[in-house]
């Protein structure tokens, strides 16, 4: 469902926020989670 929302908010989409949120919920540091989300976007773009 989140993949259908390519909304850009401050140059990050809803998918990146969801990825960071899930990683933070499982205990990953927020900075590391943001880096993973950005790297994932760069690879899949």
Q: Count of domains in the chain?
A: 1
**Residue 23, domain member (yes or no):** yes
Q: 1-45 pLDDT, tens per residue?
A: 455 555 555 555 778 889 999 999 999 999 999 999 989 888 877
pTM: 0.68
**Residue 28, domain member (yes or no):** yes
Please give the residue range of the domain that contains residue 31.
12-44
**Nearest-angstrom CA–CA distance, 6 and 26:** 24
**Residue 5, domain member (yes or no):** no
């Amino acid at each position: 469902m989140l993949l259908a929302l390519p909304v850009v908010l401050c140059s990050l989409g809803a998918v990146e926020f969801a990825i960071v949120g899930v990683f933070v919920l499982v205990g990953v540091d927020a900075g590391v989670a943001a880096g993973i989300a950005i790297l994932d976007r760069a690879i899949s773009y």
